[in-house]
Chain A
Amino acid sequence: MATTTTLDARLSPLPPATGRAGLRGAIASEFTKVRSVRSTYWTLAALLIVSIGVGAAITGGSAANFNHNLANKAGFDATQTSLVAFFEIGQLIIAVIAAMAITSEYSTGMIRTSLTAQPRRGTVYAAKAIVLTSLTLTISLVTSFAAFFVGQALLSSSGVSASLFHTVTIPQNANVNCPGPGKGGGGGLPPGCKVTFSGVDVIHPSTVLFAIIGCALFVTLVAILAFGIGALVRHTAGAIAIAIAALFIIPVLEQALPSNWRWDIMRFLPDAANQVVSVTIGNNGNPHLWSAWPQLGVTALWAAVLLGAGAYLFRKRDA
């Protein structure tokens, strides 16, 4: 009984339909959505500027600092220093992009149009999560490597820069001998002080590679977590506030807890992983946290739970 008369000569007939609308079309659609709004590009620009720019400022500052106090080279983690802007501030930008990937559909009303085109909500949700995760992972890897290389370039003359291509040794301890009463503190050493180093930390390229990729994985997990929050609260400002609270404010508040048990809690917070994955010098890690993989597992668990809860409500609630 299908009437396939087209409305107008300008509409060409459609090819016969086979199968059904599914995940492939939904992924193509979500990719079009992401690439066709300007906010994607300016948030990406912000991510790169912050992660690489602020990262460069921090590593550049460290390099300059060595001129004032050579002793600071001891135990200096050049990899972590170059990545700290990315995994601390960049993660927030990623969290905003990720939350908005779903909340913007609600704020604009687009969700009703999207779910009319593809009413199988699990498909829509999965497509969004897949596109977000793959794009975030790609962007995070690019940003992480870029921040690393820019940072190491700025540290290259210091002798303590990290490398992906050969093993580096970093002095473990610094002994400062100053003639006369040392002024102490204030950052710079008084003139005439002699710094001698003892012991070395050996950093293998594989450790550095793991830190760079680990930070990108961490930020990607943060994106999934923020996406889940976005799906739960369906409101941009609310989702961003909750994500920032979870990643930034709770960890700070947690510092105020009694030290005998705050560490036990810290392990279970979603942001704890970044304090261990970025570390390339064994002694610098936080001794109270688990190692990198288990801590990433904690973040992944948060992401999975929020993603799942978001999926459940996305399917169950009225759009």
Chain B
Amino acid sequence: MIEVHGLTKRYGEKIAVDQLTFGIEPGKVTGFLGPNGAGKTTTMRCVLGLDYPDAGTVTVDGHDYHNLAYPMREVGALLDAKAVHGGRSAYNHLLCLAQTNNLPKRRVGEVLELVGLSEVAKKRSKGFSLGMSQRLGIAATLLGDPRVLMFDEPVNGLDPEGILWIRNLMKALAAEGRTVFVSSHLMSEMESTADHLIVIGRGKLIADCSMSEFIARSSGAAVRVRTPMADDLIKCVTAEGATATTATDDDGAIEIRGMTAEAVGDIAFEQAIRLHELTTVHASLEEAFMELTASSVEYHAGVPGTATTSGSGA
């Protein structure tokens, strides 16, 4: 359980995080989403006590991070997989971390085994690929069997196999009742992993809601149609009050909004318009996100379930 209340952090003149308030619940994967520079890493650094907030409070299970009896038993955090001394072996890196929290030595070997790095345990981490470094960082987070896990952009630079591995790991951790808080600027990644979303832009909260709410919030479903008789179909559906636009991606498909796929199919049948494709398209997280972050004016647009930011431009 992570609670962030009124968190504000400035770097010189620049406000990195602005009056941020949210809570992270156990038992699910909470995605922390925002464009690069939105303040995700800063927020996580404040949670871990690496940066001192200018205002506001951050607690982990009700405690200031600095006061946790055994921080590694409470929180496992991976902010930067390359934040290790490259001259130290994987084993010794984990050992020196385990010792700070009086964790038994055997855990080191076990977590190395778990992340698949046993073979290179004695190798210096300097030579590790980014994927191996990420695994080493994740091994460190698991040393203390923590109830809260935080990952900052964990899939950055990983190959598909590594991405799948991390995704499954995060889901498994959440399924065990742990709090999993993971940041990303990759909307597609969140879509397949997160149950809940915290979305921020320019340091401010944009949305705090479940994944499904977030997608539903965006302009909604469309019907994607491919037809050699597009002009005829557009004429018919607009006559029924729907809107039709050329799909952004490819091959002259059109997207119809304001009408169900069934209705579009019926019209096409009645008008003898040949269809090559008829699909209901759910707004992707990507689109919902782009919509929400399109301009700062919309930052405070009401989102179902949103904890609105105080200090908004009232």
Q: Is B one of A's binding partners?
A: yes
**Residue B159 at the chain A interface, CB threshold 8 Å:** no
* Contact among A10, A15, A319 with B110 in the assembled complex (CB-CB below 8 Å): A10
Chain A neighbourhood of B99, CB < 8 A: 25-26, 28-29, 32
Contact, CB under 8 Å: A5 / B66:
no
Contact (Cβ within 8 A) B100 A5: no
Is B68 positioned at the interface, with any CB of A under 8 Å from its CB? yes
Interface size bucket, A side? 35 or more
Q: Is A20 an interface residue (CB 8 A)?
A: yes
- Flag if A119 contacts B85 (CB, 8 Å): no
Complex-state Cα separation, A279 to B313, whole angstroms: 73
* Residue B206, interface by CB 8 Å: no
Q: Which of A36, A112, A117 has the most CB of B within 10 A?
A: A117
| In contact, A11 and B101 (Cβ under 8 angstroms) | no
Taking a contact as CB atoms closer than 8 A, the residue among B88, B110, B114 that contacts A36 in the complex is: B88
B65, B73, B85, B111: the one contacting A17 at CB < 8 Å is B73
The answer to whether A38 and B87 touch (CB under 8 A), given A21-B100, A33-B96, is yes
Comparing A51-59, A62-70, A102-110, A157-165, the segment that makes contact with chain B is A102-110
Q: How far is the CB of B186 from chain A (nearest CB, A)?
A: 23
Contact flags B55-80 to A (C-beta < 8 A → 1, else 0)? 00000000001101111110101011
Given contacts A3-B177, A29-B99, A318-B52, whether A21 and B70 have CB atoms under 8 Å apart is: yes
Which of A7, A19, A36, A119 is the one whose CB lies under 8 Å from B49?
A119
- Chain A residues near B107 (CB-CB < 8 A): 11-12, 14
A118 within 8 A of B: yes
Task: Let me know if A4 is at the binding interface, CB within 8 A.
Answer: yes
B89-130, CB under 8 A of A: which get 1 and which 0?
100110111011111101100110110000000000000000
Determine if B84 is an interface residue (Cβ-Cβ < 8 Å): yes
Query: What is the CA–CA distance of A7 and B180 in the complex, to the nearest angstrom?
Result: 13
A11 to B68, CA, bound (A): 23
Any chain A CB within 8 A of the CB of B82? Answer: yes
Contact of A29 with B85 in the complex, beta carbons under 8 Å: no
| CB-based nearest B residue for A123 | B100
Task: Check B145 against A109 for contact (C-beta < 8 Å).
Answer: no
Give chain A interface residues in 276-319, CB to chain B under 8 Å: 318-319
Check if B222 is an interface residue, CB within 8 A of chain A. no
Size range of the chain B interface in the assembly: 35 or more
- The reply to whether A5 and B176 contact each other, CB–CB distance below 8 Å, is yes
Contact B51 A318 (CB under 8 A): yes
Q: Which of A11, A37, A110, A119 contacts B114 (CB 8 A)?
A: A11
If the complex has contacts A20-B69, A28-B99, A32-B95, are A116 and B52 also in contact, measured as CB distance less than 8 A?
A: no
Cβ A119 vs Cβ B96 within 8 A:
no
Least Cβ–Cβ distance between B12 and chain A, in angstroms? 12
Instruction: For the complex formed, measure the closest distance between the CB of B167 and the CB atoms of chain A, giving whole angstroms.
Output: 15
Whether A17 pairs with B80 at a CB distance below 8 angstroms is no
At the interface, yes or no: A194 with Cβ under 8 Å from chain B? Answer: no
Q: Which residues of B contact A2 (CB under 8 A)?
A: 147
Tell me, yes or no, whether B48 is within 8 Å of chain A by CB.
yes
Is there contact, CB below 8 Å, between A33 and B79?
no
Note all chain B residues with C-beta closer than 8 A to A8. Answer: 114
What are the residues of chain B within 8 A of A109 when measuring CB–CB? 80, 82-84
- Closest-by-CB residue of B relative to A120 is B66
Let me know if B86 is at the binding interface, CB within 8 A: yes
Contact B85 A104 (CB under 8 A): yes
Distance (Å) between the CB of A127 and the closest chain B CB? Answer: 9
Q: Which residue of A lies closest to B76 (CB)?
A: A116
Q: Which residues of A contact B95 (CB under 8 A)?
A: 32, 36
A118 touches B101 (CB 8 A): yes
Q: Does A259 contact B (CB under 8 A)?
A: no
Chain A neighbourhood of B69, CB < 8 A:
17, 19-21
Within the assembled complex, what's the spacing in Å between the Cα atoms of A14 and B177? 17
Asked if A17 meets B70 with Cβ closer than 8 Å, knowing A32-B92, A112-B79, A319-B50, the reply is: yes
A1 to B177, CA, bound (A): 9
Give A7 to B110 CA distance when docked, in angstroms: 11
Is A175 interfacial (CB 8 A cutoff)? Answer: no
B234: interface (CB < 8 Å): no
B20 at the interface (CB under 8 A from A): no
Q: Is the CB of B97 within 8 A of A3?
A: no
A270 to chain B, nearest CB (A): 29
With A14-B145, A21-B69 as known contacts, state yes or no: A116 contacts B48, CB within 8 Å.
Answer: yes
Chain B residues with Cβ under 8 A from A24's Cβ? 102
- B104 with A25: CB separation less than 8 A: no
Q: Quick one: CB contact mask for B33-50 with A, threshold 8 Å, 1 for yes? A: 000000000000100111
- Check B197 for interface membership: any CB of A closer than 8 A: no
Complex interface: chain A residues within 8 A of B68 (CB):
119
Interchain CA distance A7-B142 in the complex, whole Å: 9
Residues of B within 8 A of A (CB): 26, 45, 48-52, 65-66, 68-73, 75, 77, 79-80, 82-89, 92-93, 95-97, 99-104, 106-107, 110-111, 113-114, 140, 142, 144-145, 147, 169, 172-173, 176-178
| Additional A-B contact list (8), CB under 8 Å, known A12-B107, A29-B97 | A7-B169, A12-B110, A14-B73, A14-B104, A20-B69, A33-B88, A117-B72, A118-B100
